[in-house]
Structure 1
Amino acid sequence: MPATPLRVAPLEWGHGPRVFEAFLEPTCPFSVRAFDKLPDLLARAGEGRITIKIRLQSQPWHMFSGVIVRCILAAATLEAGREAARTVMAAVGAHREEFEFTDHCAGPNMDATPNDIIKRIERYSGLELAAAFAVPDLQKAIKWQCRYSRQNGIHVSPTFMVDGLIDPAISSGDTVEAWMERIFA
């Protein structure tokens, strides 16, 4: 009997015609700032007017980026799917310093292992991720995220796309109102 294919819930909210994609690295302070604004954007714009999609943009200078991205996608395979993934992203963002290196190359995380990082994320998120993290097929979802970013010319986070086009004028430092002016222009 063939194995059941791994289901990774899309990190999408809303169902409107305007598509806003946020390419985020979970430990980047600017990405965390943008991530925190997404629920407000959805509430103000309305689920019938906008579709918000989170794309994970792993970056090698954030040393545990790959492990954390895999944890987020592992969470997306759980019963709660996208909400579990959002919970993991929020937990990492709220405790960002515990997942980052000092100056991207030093500090207490030099002695941390991937298992330590997974356990921290589990503790902060309240989700059990180790088994889902260990599923080999999860790498397909990770590779898809990487390919999609590269195919769209995205190399850093946060980067934002509106209806398939990068909008370099949108910044994580902008207000939600400013985002809406750009998105619905």
Structure 2
Amino acid sequence: MTSDGGTWGELVWGRGPKLMDWFLEPTCPHCGRAFGKLLPLLERAGEDRLTVRLTVHSQPWHLFSGVVSRAVLAATLTPEGRDAAYRVMAAVYEHREDYIATDHSSGPNMDAPPSTMLQRIADHCGLDLRAVFERKEAGDMLKRHIRFARQNGIHASPTFMVDGLVNDKLGSRDEVDTWLGELGLA
């Protein structure tokens, strides 16, 4: 992977033989819980034993999902690459109420245009993504992430695959120790 995430915008941590694919929607509270386990899991498992590949999985019932998902992938096009995308996701999960509609269909954010969402991201994590958000590569990466999820039968998030197979025993409420045991890395 190049420092800018390459044309795929691949979000990869670790370099181990055990491959874990995470499909996360960037405004979903359940995905936010899972996301919080990323670095602790890698630290405990060892980056030489585990590779985590994150796929941004836009969900249409989260009304601003497409905008925020594209912003996360656009962040990989900045000089910070993957680390910038991580910062965006962390900021969105931390300030989730600023990126969602109440009950998926109402509330104060209903009049917020995409530019407001991008400004909130800039305010929350210090990254002005407007220029990279508008690049064709950001849209192409989002399409590839969505296609990869569909090709693997992923319909909801969070979903986890281990070595290419969906593992429904892993959930966002599980402790890192549970995940390590399920991965055979305890």
Query: For structure 1, which segment, 135-144 or 93-102, has the greater mean C-alpha deviation from structure 2 after superposition?
Result: 135-144
Q: CA separation in 1, counterparts of 2:67 and 2:58?
A: 9
Contact 1:78 1:84 in 2 (8 A): yes
Structure 1 residue 172 corresponds to structure 2 residue 172: yes
Q: Is 1:81–2:81 an aligned residue pair?
A: yes
Write out aligned runs for 1:5-154 (5 A): 7=7, 9-154=9-154
Please tell me the residue identity of whatever aligns with 1:142.
L
Identity %: 49
Counterpart of 1:26 in structure 2: which amino acid? P
Query: More deviation in 150-159 or 129-138?
Result: 129-138
Please say which of residues 108-117 and 7-16 is displaced more in the overlay: 7-16
Q: Is the alpha carbon distance of 1:8 and 1:79 closer, same or farther for their aligned partners in structure 2, counting shifts above 3 Å?
A: farther
- Distance apart, 1:137 and its partner CA: 2.9
Residues 123 and 84 of structure 1: is their aligned pair in 2 closer, same or farther, counting only changes over 3 Å? same
1: CA distance, partners of 2:47 / 2:137: 32
For 1:37, give the aligned amino acid: K
**Which residue of structure 1 aligns with residue 3 of structure 2?**
none
Unaligned runs of 5+ in 2: 1-5
**Secondary structure of 2:145's partner?**
helix
**Contact 2:45–2:180 (8 Å) recurs in 1:** yes
Structure 1: 5+ residue runs without aligned partners?
Answer: 1-5
Give, in whole Å, the separation in 1 of the partners of 2:126 and 2:90: 12
User: 1:9 deviation in Å?
Assistant: 4.2
Q: TM-score of the superposition, structure 2-length normalised?
A: 0.94
TM-score for both structures, normalised by structure 1: 0.95
Partner SS for 2:37: helix
The two structures, once aligned, show a CA RMSD in angstroms of 1.1
User: Hey, what's the Cα distance between the residues in 1 that align with 2:183 and 2:63?
Assistant: 32
The alpha-carbon deviation at position 7 of structure 1 amounts to 4.1
Task: Tell me how far apart the structure 2 counterparts of residues 109 and 18 of structure 1 sit (CA, whole Å).
Answer: 40
Residue aligned with 1:128, SS: coil
The CA distance in 2 between the partners of 1:10 and 1:166, in whole Å, is: 19
